[in-house]
Chain A
Amino acid sequence: MIELMHFTKRYGDFVAVDDLNLSIGTGEVFGFIGPNGAGKSTTIRFLATLLRPTSGEGKVAGRSVTQDPMGVRKVIGYMPDDFGVYDGMKVWEFLDFFAVAYEIPRSYRKKIIGQVLELLDLTHKRDDYVNGLSKGMKQRLCLAKTLVHDPPVLILDEPASGLDPRARLEMKALLNELRGMGKTILVSSHILSELADFCTSIGVIERGKLLAAGSIADITRQLRQHRVLKVRVVDETADLAAAIMRDESNVKTIEQFDHTITAEYHGDDEALATLLGRLISSGVGVHSFGEEELSLEEVFMMITKGIVN
C-alpha cells in the first residue's frame, strides 16, 4: 500500500533521509520510530505530498507521490505533528470545511460529519469553537478531519504527543479501532509503549537511515540469536536451581540475583520443558519460569546504539 524507493532528502550538505526503502502492506499498522531529528517527519511529509525528494520515489495505493500528488491526496488522511486550527470556526464548520475541500457532496456530508464525530467521541463538542478546545480534543478533531473523506491510508505524525495519560490511552484505543476498520496506518512516535501494542510492524530510523524494519518479533529475533530465560524460585532452593541450570548444555551464561536466575538459552521448546521438569523433580520450588521478551524500548535502544549493522 505504501512504498518508498531510494527516497533521499538533502538540505544543502545535510542529509535528512538517506536512500530509504520501505514497503508497507495493506491493512498493516506500521510504527515509524526514531529519535528526534531522525528523519521521520521528513519521510512522512514526503508521503503526504508536501515535500519534493532530492531523489527517489514513493507510491501510495499505487499512485506516484511525485507524479500524481492529487491522486495520493485522495487516498491519504494526513495528521501533522504540529497543527493549528482555524479561529472562529465551530467543530462542525471545521469538518464541513475539510469535507468540501475533499469534494464530498453536500448530501453525504451531514452523515459523514455525524459519523466521524461519533467515532471520535466529539458529538457533544459539535457546536463548540475549535480554538476553545483542549489539546486532546484538538488532536481528536484533527484525526476526525483526516477521516472525513474515508481514506484507506492514514499517515499520522506523532498523534499522541503532548497528551495527558488518559487522552493518550483514548487515542490508542481510537487507532486500534481504525486498525479494526482495515485502514493501513503509518504512525510515527517516539513514545514506544504507544506503538508496541497495536503495530503489526515497525521501522527504526536514525540519522536518516532505516536501521531495521519488520515485525517486532522478527526484529527481536534478528537482534538476539538466543532466548533469555528468567526463573524465580523460593529462596532456599535458588542455589540448587542455579546448579541444575549450569549443568544444562543449552544454557550458556547464567546470572543469579537473590532468588531470580537469568540465563542465556539456546535450546528449543522441548528442551525447555525438560529443564522445567528437572527443576521440579529435583525439589526446586519454582515460582515462575519463562522467556523474557524484549520490550520495544529495548529493541529501539539496541538498534539505535548501533548493535545491528
Chain B
Amino acid sequence: MILRDNPVLIRELLVNLRSPRAFALQFVYVSLLGAMVYFAWPANEGQVSSGAAQRLFDLFFLGQFFLVALVAPTFAAGSITGEKERKTYEMLLASPLMPTSILIGKLLSSLTYLVILIISSLPLIILCFLLGGILLSEIARAYLILILAAGTFGLLSLACSSYFGRTSSALVVSYLVILPLAITCVYLTRTNDTTLRDFVSISVLPPWCLMIWSVVVIALNGRLLRPPDVGSEGKEVVDEEQEMKYAIGVVIDRDLFPDKLFAPAKRTDLMPDGTNPVLDKELRSEIFAQGTLMLRVVIQVSMLLSIPLMAFLLFLRPENAGYYVSYVLTFNLLVGPVFSAGSITQERERQTLNLLLTTLLRPGKIVFAKLIAALRVSTVLTFLLTEQLLLAYVLIPELRDRAWTLVIYLLIIATCCLATSTIGLLCSALSRKTSVAMILTYLSLLLLFVGPVGLRWYLQGFAGGISEARLAAFTVSSPYSAAFSIPMKSSQFSTTDANSQASMTQQIIPGINLPVWAVYLIMYPPLCAMLFGLTYVFFRYRWWRAGGT
C-alpha cells in the first residue's frame, strides 16, 4: 500500500509525468548537458586534460545540486498546501489511507521528476569519467549526495507544507531552512581536503540525513493522523494579537520601523480617496492573512545566518564583501518571487479574480499595485540583511575608504529586488497555477542570474582564446557577477593589472569601457520596464479580456 497501489503516488505521477511538457523539459535538460559535454570533448585523444574533466564534473555536480535545492521545494512545498487550497485535504485525511502512504506518495511524486532529471545526466557524467582525472567513486559520491539532498530538501519542504496553509508561505520557509543546509553541504563536500570530503560525504551526511528523515516523518505522521489545522471555518482566521502574545523570538509590530515598511498597520477607517485599493489590500491584509509565522521565520533564519557570514566575510576578510552580497542576493532570489509569482495566480485560485475584474479598476492599476506590493515586501526583507554590510563599512577602515563600493552594492541588491519581483509577476500573469508560476520564475532567474556564471566557468575551461572581457560580457545579466566585478582587493585598483582590469570592464558601446556592475545597473531598469509592459499585456489580454476585440 505504501509504494504499490498507493493512490496518491499513482495519481500525482500520472498528472506530473504524462504531460508533454515533462518530456520536453527532460529533452531540453539532457540536450543542454549533452551540448556541454560535446563542446568540451577534446578533438583528439592527446588533448585530454584531467583538469578539464574535473571542471566539467564540478559544473555538473554544482549545477544539479543548485537545481535540487531550488526545484525540490517548489514541488514538495505545494503538495500538502495545494490540497488545503483546493479544499481536498480533509477528504484525503478522512480516506482509509495511512498517513505514511499519503506522506510517501506526496514525497515520491514530488521528487520523481527531479530524480529522473538527475539520473538522466548519469550517462553524460560517465563520459566525463572517460576523459580521465575523475574517480568512479567520486561520481558515486556526487550522486549519493544529490539523492540525499533531494530526499532531505523534499521532506523538509513537505514538513513546511504541512505546517503552513499557503504554498507561498511553505515555499519561502522551505528555502530559508534549506539555504544554510545547502551552503554547508556544498562547502563540506567540495573542500580541497579529500579526507574531510570523503569523511563528510560517506560517514556524516547519510546518517544525518536519515536522522532528519526519521524525525520529519514521525512529526508529519502525527500531524496527518491528528491534524490540528482542519475543522470549522472559523479557524481560518488568525488573530494577530493572540499570535504575537505567544510568538517566540522576533515580534512584528506594524506600528514600528522597520516592520511598518513591509506591513503597514491595518486600517481603522475607510481608505482615503485616490488610494489604490489593490495595493492597500495587498500590504495591509494579505501579507498577514495566514499569520505572521512565515515572516517571523524568514526574518529570524536569514538574520541568524547572516551573523557568521558577516563575521567571516566582512570582518575577518573584508575583501570578501562580494560573497556577503551574494548571500543577500541569494536570499532575494529565493524569497523575492514568493511575493510576486503568486500574486495574480492566487487571485484566480482563490476565485477572487472575477470579483476584481468586474470592478472599474484598470488592468494597469491592478498589475502596478501587485508589483509595488511584492517589490516593497521583498526589498524591505532583503535590505534588513544589509545592516551588517553598513556596519562593516562603518567599522572597518579598509572598507570605509571605499565607501562608493557600498553604494554600488546597495544598487545591485535593489536592482536584483526589482528583477526578481518583475519576473515573478510576469510568470504569474503567464501561468494558471501558482506552483507553475513559481517554477517558471525560478527557472528564469536561474537562467539569468546563475546560468551566465556557469557559462563563464565552462567557457574558461573549454573554449580557449576567448578574452576575459568577452567572457565578462556573458555574465552581465547576473547580479553575482556584478557584485564580484567591484574591485575589493588592493591589487584590483592598480591600473597596471591589465588582465584584472579587462575582466572587470565591458564594452557595451564601441569605445566606452564599462565595468560589469555598471552594465548590469544600466541594463536592468529598462529590461524590468519592458517585462512589466509584457506583464500588463498578458494580464490585459489573458485575464482582463472583455474590452475591445
Contacts and interface: CB of A to CB of B under 8 A. Distances in A.
A221 interface: no
Nearest to A129: B237
B273 A87 contact: no
A106 B271 contact: yes
Interface stretch (B352-360, B420-428, B433-441): B352-360
A293 interface: no
B526 interface: no
Looking at B237, B356, B549, which has the most chain A CB atoms within 10 Å of its CB?
Answer: B237
A74 interface: yes
Looking at A97, A98, A102, A110, which has the most chain B CB atoms within 10 Å of its CB?
Answer: A97
Contacts of A129: 237
A216 interface: no
B234 interface: yes
**In the complex, which range does the number of interface residues on chain A fall in?**
35 or more
A113 to B, nearest CB: 8
A102 B270 contact: no
Interface stretch (A76-84, A177-185, A258-266): A76-84
B288 A50 contact: no
Interface string A126-160: 00010111100000001001000000000000000
B358 A73 contact: yes
Contacts of A86: 281, 285-286, 289, 350, 352
Given A132-B234, A134-B233, A87 B357 contact: no
Interface of B is mostly: loop
Contacts of A220: none
B275 A83 contact: no
Contacts of A103: 360
Given A52-B549, A87-B286, A96-B270, A131 B351 contact: no
A49 B547 contact: yes
Interface in A151-179: none
Given A69-B547, A100-B271, A89 B281 contact: yes
Contacts of A133: 233
B350 A84 contact: yes
Contact of B352 (A50, A69, A83): A83
Contacts of B546: 49-52, 65-66, 69
A131 B275 CA distance: 23
Nearest to A128: B237
A80 B285 contact: no
A212 interface: no
Contacts of A113: 270
Contacts of B58: none
Interface string B342-374: 000000001110111111110000000000000
Interface in A54-109: 65-67, 69-70, 73-74, 76, 78, 80, 82-89, 93, 96-103, 105-106, 109
B547 A97 contact: no
A102 B272 CA distance: 14
A74 B281 CA distance: 22
Contact of A131 (B237, B359, B545, B549): B237
B236 interface: yes
A88 B270 CA distance: 16
A50 B286 contact: no
B511 interface: no
Contacts, number: 116
B302 to A, nearest CB: 23
B188 to A, nearest CB: 41
Contacts of B236: 87, 131-132
B277 interface: yes
Interface string B535-548: 00000000001111
A88 B288 contact: yes
A28 to B, nearest CB: 21
A49 B358 contact: yes
A228 interface: no
A80 B236 CA distance: 22
A94 to B, nearest CB: 9
B290 interface: yes
B245 interface: no
A141 to B, nearest CB: 11
A121 B156 CA distance: 46
A80 B347 CA distance: 14
A101 B352 contact: no
Contact of B355 (A45, A83, A96, A134): A83
Given A83-B351, A132-B233, A101 B359 contact: yes
A109 B270 contact: yes
Given A49-B547, A78-B354, A88 B286 contact: yes
Given A100-B277, A106-B273, A78 B233 contact: no
A52 B270 contact: no
B86 interface: no
A50 B357 contact: yes
A110 B289 CA distance: 24
Nearest to A132: B237
B359 A88 contact: no
Nearest to B347: A84
B267 interface: yes
Contacts of A101: 277-278, 356, 359-361
A50 B275 contact: no
A73 B359 contact: yes
Nearest to B282: A86
A48 interface: yes
Contacts of A49: 357-358, 546-547
Contacts of A52: 545-546, 549
A66 to B, nearest CB: 6
B360 A73 contact: yes
Contacts of B290: 87-88
A41 to B, nearest CB: 11
Contacts of A99: 270
Given A93-B285, A98-B359, A101-B360, A83 B354 contact: yes
A192 B548 CA distance: 36
Given A51-B545, A131-B237, A132-B234, A145 B355 contact: yes
Contacts of B289: 86-89, 131
Contacts of B287: 88
Contacts of A102: 359-360
B358 A50 contact: yes
Interface in B66-101: none
Contact of B360 (A50, A70, A80, A134): A70
B547 A70 contact: yes
- Report, nearest first, the 5 A-B pairs whose CB atoms are least far apart: A88-B289, A87-B289, A49-B546, A101-B359, A84-B351
Interface of A: 45, 48-52, 65-67, 69-70, 73-74, 76, 78, 80, 82-89, 93, 96-103, 105-106, 109-110, 113, 129, 131-134, 142, 145
10 contacts: A45-B354, A66-B548, A83-B355, A84-B350, A85-B352, A86-B350, A87-B289, A89-B281, A100-B277, A110-B270
Given A87-B285, A100-B277, 4 more contacts: A66-B549, A74-B360, A78-B358, A98-B355
